[in-house]
C-alpha cells in the first residue's frame, strides 16, 4: 500500500485538484494524502481542502535558501520563466525521500484524474512503473543530457517514465541523491541544477532521472507495465468537471486523464507536431470504431502527423488515404497496402462530382528543391487546382539559397497538369462513420471546396485542416467552422476543430 500520496499544486490549478481529489482517494489507496503548496498559499489550500488531505508547505521539504529565485540563478534569462517548473521537480524529489526506508511514496500530478484503481506494488512486492506506448515514440529530449551528466548508467531505458503517478521507496531516493553528491562533491540540489542545459525550457525530468536509476540499479525489485493515459484532457473535454458526463467512455480507454495546460506553454512547431500526433492516437483509443480520413495524403509518405501515428505499434483504427497524384498514391500503396486497416484511393475531394486539372511539381524535380535547407522534401507536398498556389510556394522558398533562386525559372517551367477525378466527401462510404470520424485536410488552397463536400447533417467529429493560404482564406474557414458549430481546439498552421452538435438539436 502507498504510504504517502503526494500532489504538488499551485492556486491556479486548485479547481482541477479539487475535482480530482474524490477520484484520487477512491482509486489510489494510501495511508496519507498530502498536497504540497507554496508557503504563501497554505492558508488558501487549508480553506478548501477536506479530509483526508493534509496541506504541506514547500519549505517543509526544501527550506531556504532554496526556492524559485534560487533556481532562476542557474538558468539563462531566456528561460527563467520556467524556474517554477524546475523548482517543483526538486520539491517532489525531496518529498519522495522522506520516510522510513521501506516506505512507498507516490507523486501524483494534481491536475490528473484516475479513472480506475491503479496499483503501484505487485503481489510479489515489486514496485510497478507505468510507461505509455505513445510517450515511447518521442525522440531524445534535453533532460536526457542532464541524466547523463549526473549518472553513469549502463542502460538508457528506451521507454518514457513520464506518467502521472510515479512511485519510489524512500531509501531508493536517498541512495540516488547520495550517489549524485558523491559524483559531484556538491549537494544534490546544486548538482541537478548545474546538470541542466541552462537555455532549455525542458532540461530536466525528475521521473526520468529516478526511473532510469531504478531501472539500472533496482531492476529485480521493479516491474514495467504499459499503460494508456490521456494527456490532452483540456483539448478533449475543455473543463475538468466535464469528465463526469462521459466518464465510462474515457475509463474504458485510459487509466487516467490529465488536464495539463499546454496552450501558450510553447510555440515551437515540434511541440505542436507532438500534440497533434498524440491527439490523433488518443482519439483512436477513446473511439474504438474510429475512422481517420486524410484528404491530400502525399505527406503521409514521409513526415506528417498521420505517418507518425501509423508507426505506433498498437494503433489499429480504420484509415483512408485520399491522394490524387499517381506517383504518391503508388508510394502509399507500397508503404501501407499490406495493412488491412489502411485503404488508399487515387482521387481528389471537392464540392461535387467532376473532373478537374491538378497542378503539381514532378517528383524528380521536387527531389532537388530543398536548396540549402532545411532538407524536408517540401516540394513533394505541392499539388493544387490553382497553378498560382504552386507558383507562390516556389517563390516563398527563396530563402533556400542562391542556387535555389537561380533555378526558380526551371522549377516554374516544370509545373505539370493532370486530370483527376473529384468527388464530395459525402459520397465516400467511410465518411458515414461521422460520430467517430477524424478528418485531415491538406489540399494546398482547396480547403473550402473540400469543406463544401461534407454532409452537414452528418459532420465529422474532428477536423484537422492546414491554414497557410493567407488571411482571407483563414477568415473564410473560421466562418465555416463557427457557422457549423465547431470549436477551435489548438494549432497554428494546422488547426484542429471539434464538432459540438447541431445547433437546433
Say yes or no to pLDDT of 280 above 80: yes
Confidence of residue 300 (pLDDT cuts 50, 70, 90): low
Say yes or no to pLDDT of 182 above 50: yes
- Distance from C-alpha of 163 to C-alpha of 130, rounded to nearest angstrom: 7
Tens of pLDDT along 400-437? 999 999 999 999 999 999 999 999 999 999 999 888 99
Identify the pLDDT of residue 265: 42
Homologous superfamily of the 271-353+424-505 domain (CATH): Vaccinia Virus protein VP39 (3.40.50.150)
Identify the pLDDT of residue 271: 62
Identify the pLDDT of residue 88: 96
* Torsions phi, psi for 209 (to 5 deg): -65, -50
String of DSSP letters for 29-64: -EEEEEEEE-GGGHHHHHHH--TTEEEEEGGGTS-T
Confidence (pTM): 0.78
- Opening angle at CA 311, ends 305 and 314, nearest 5: 115
Identify the pLDDT of residue 135: 58
Least confident of 19-33, 154-168, 202-216, 359-373: 154-168
How would you class 163 by CB atoms within 10 Å of its CB: exposed for 0-12, middle for 13-18, buried for 19 or more?
Answer: buried
Contact 334, 312 (CB under 8 A): no
Say yes or no to pLDDT of 501 above 90: no
- Opening angle at CA 202, ends 198 and 205, nearest 5: 105
What does pLDDT average to over the chain?
Answer: 90
Contact 279, 491 (CB under 8 A): no
Tens of pLDDT along 110-142? 999 999 999 999 999 999 999 876 655 455 577
Identify the pLDDT of residue 270: 55
Say yes or no to pLDDT of 288 above 90: no
Selecting from 3.90.550, 2.40.128, 2.40.160, 3.30.1300, what CATH number does the domain 2-226 have?
A: 3.90.550
How would you class 370 by CB atoms within 10 Å of its CB: exposed for 0-12, middle for 13-18, buried for 19 or more?
Answer: middle
Identify the pLDDT of residue 303: 59
- Opening angle at CA 50, ends 46 and 56, nearest 5: 45
Identify the pLDDT of residue 505: 47
Classify 171 in phi/psi space as left (phi over 0), alpha (psi -120 to 50) or beta: alpha
Domain ranges of the chain: 2-226, 271-353+424-505, 356-418
Please give the residue that has the higher pLDDT: either 173 or 286: 173
- Distance from C-alpha of 109 to C-alpha of 82, rounded to nearest angstrom: 18
DSSP category for residue 457: T
Tens of pLDDT along 218-243? 999 999 998 888 888 998 998 898 99
Closest CA to 206 of 283, 255, 164, 143: 143
Identify the pLDDT of residue 267: 40
In percent, how much of the chain has pLDDT > 70?
A: 93
Identify the pLDDT of residue 263: 46
Tens of pLDDT along 145-162? 899 899 887 666 667 888
Identify the pLDDT of residue 264: 42
Amino acid at each position: 500500500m502507498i504510504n504517502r500520496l503526494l500532489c504538488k499544486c499551485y492556486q491556479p490549478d486548485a479547481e482541477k485538484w479539487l475535482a480530482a481529489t474524490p477520484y484520487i482517494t477512491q482509486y489510489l489507496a494510501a495511508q496519507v494524502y498530502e498536497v504540497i503548496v507554496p508557503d504563501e498559499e497554505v492558508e488558501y489550500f487549508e480553506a478548501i481542502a477536506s479530509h483526508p488531505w493534509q496541506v504541506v508547505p514547500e519549505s517543509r521539504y526544501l527550506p531556504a535558501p532554496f526556492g524559485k529565485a534560487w533556481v532562476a540563478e542557474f538558468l539563462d534569462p531566456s528561460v527563467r520563466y520556467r524556474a517554477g517548473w524546475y523548482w517543483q521537480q526538486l520539491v517532489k524529489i525531496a518529498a519522495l525521500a522522506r520516510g522510513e526506508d521501506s516506505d512507498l511514496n507516490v507523486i501524483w500530478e494534481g491536475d490528473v484524474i484516475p479513472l480506475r484503481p491503479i496499483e503501484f506494488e505487485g503481489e510479489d512486492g515489486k514496485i510497478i512503473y507505468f510507461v505509455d506506448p505513445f510517450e515511447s515514440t518521442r525522440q531524445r529530449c534535453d533532460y536526457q543530457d542532464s541524466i547523463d551528466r549526473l549518472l553513469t548508467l549502463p542502460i538508457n531505458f528506451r521507454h518514457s517514465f513520464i506518467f502521472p503517478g510515479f512511485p519510489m521507496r524512500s531509501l531508493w531516493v536517498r541512495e540516488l541523491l547520495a550517489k549524485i553528491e558523491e559524483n559531484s562533491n556538491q549537494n544534490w540540489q546544486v548538482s541537478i541544477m548545474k546538470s541542466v542545459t541552462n537555455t532549455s525550457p525542458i532540461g530536466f525530468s525528475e521521473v526520468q532521472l529516478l526511473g532510469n536509476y531504478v531501472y539500472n540499479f533496482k531492476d529485480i525489485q521493479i516491474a514495467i507495465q504499459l499503460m494508456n493515459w490521456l494527456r490532452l484532457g483540456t483539448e478533449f473535454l475543455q473543463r475538468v468537471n466535464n469528465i463526469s458526463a462521459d466518464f465510462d467512455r474515457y475509463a474504458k480507454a485510459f487509466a487516467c486523464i490529465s488536464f495539463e495546460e499546454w496552450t501558450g506553454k510553447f510555440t515551437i512547431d515540434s511541440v505542436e507536431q507532438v500534440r497533434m500526433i498524440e491527439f490523433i492516437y488518443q482519439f483512436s483509443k477513446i473511439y474504438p470504431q474510429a475512422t481517420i480520413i486524410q484528404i491530400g495524403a502525399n505527406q503521409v509518405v514521409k513526415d506528417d502527423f498521420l505517418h507518425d501515428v501509423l508507426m505506433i505499434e498498437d494503433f489499429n483504427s480504420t484509415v483512408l488515404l485520399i491522394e490524387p497524384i499517381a506517383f504518391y498514391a503508388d508510394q502509399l500503396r507500397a508503404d501501407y497496402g499490406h495493412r488491412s486497416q489502411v485503404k488508399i484511393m487515387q482521387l481528389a475531394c471537392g464540392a461535387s462530382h467532376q473532373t478537374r486539372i491538378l497542378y503539381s511539381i514532378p517528383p524528380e524535380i521536387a527531389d532537388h528543391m530543398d536548396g540549402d535547407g532545411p532538407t524536408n522534401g517540401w516540394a513533394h507536398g505541392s499539388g493544387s487546382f490553382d497553378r498560382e498556389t504552386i507558383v507562390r510556394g516556389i517563390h516563398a522558398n527563396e530563402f533556400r539559397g542562391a542556387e535555389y533562386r537561380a533555378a526558380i525559372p526551371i522549377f516554374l517551367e516544370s509545373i505539370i497538369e493532370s486530370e483527376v477525378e473529384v468527388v464530395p466527401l459525402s459520397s465516400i462510404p467511410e465518411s458515414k462513420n461521422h460520430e467517430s470520424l477524424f478528418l485531415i485536410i491538406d489540399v494546398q488552397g482547396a480547403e473550402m471546396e473540400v469543406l463544401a463536400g461534407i454532409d452537414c447533417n452528418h459532420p465529422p467529429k474532428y477536423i484537422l485542416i492546414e491554414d497557410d493560404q493567407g488571411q482571407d482564406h483563414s477568415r473564410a474557414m473560421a466562418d465555416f467552422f463557427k457557422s457549423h458549430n465547431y470549436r477551435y481546439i489548438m494549432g497554428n498552421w494546422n488547426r484542429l476543430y471539434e464538432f459540438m452538435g447541431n445547433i437546433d438539436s
